Every structure is written in C-alpha cells, then in structure tokens.
Amino acid sequence: MNIPFIEGYTQILLDSGIYMDLMSSLQQFDKDFFNTAYSNASVYFLSDTIAIKILSYENLLYEKKKSGREKDKLDAKELENLNK
C-alpha cells in the first residue's frame, strides 16, 4: 500500500464497513510511553499477510484529550459517551 499519511484524512474501509483512520505518529506520547502503548496494542489482520496494530481505548483517549485540536477533543468526548 503506497498512500500518503495525512492525519485526519487517511482512512481505509474495512470489510466490516468500518472506516479506520491511519496515524503515522502520536503527538502526546514520549518514547517510553509509546513503547508501552505499542506493546499493549491489539493486532488486527487485514489479510493473511497484513497485520496492523490498534491503539487501546485508554491510549487513544489519552492522545485525543491531550491534543490541541478541537476535533480531537470532540472525538474524546464521543469516545467517552460510547464507552458508558
């Protein structure tokens, strides 16, 4: 797959009908926290040969809350509402 990573705009549509945002970096994580988040991430297989890591709910919420972008803050509120 050769697509540019444009945060907030790079998505793929999974067979399940769910859109997945692709992120090439996490702004709020330092290296140690990133390593912990990476090791705690779930693995999702797009196919027999393509596996991707999925950030945990807690780590995604942390990233969204710490972001300065209004869209991320709204995303964080929506995530919390969905997880009630």
pLDDT of 17 reads 84
Q: Checking phi first, is residue 3 left (phi over 0); if not, alpha (psi -120 to 50) or beta?
A: beta
Domain boundaries, the chain: 11-82
Identify residue 78 by its one-letter amino acid code.
Answer: E
Q: What does the pLDDT look like over 25-45, one tens digit per residue?
A: 667 777 788 888 889 999 988
pLDDT of 61 reads 92
Q: What does the pLDDT look like over 49-76, one tens digit per residue?
A: 888 888 899 988 988 898 888 988 999 9
How many CA atoms lie within 13 Å of 35's alpha carbon, on the beta-carbon side? Answer: 2
pLDDT of 81 reads 95
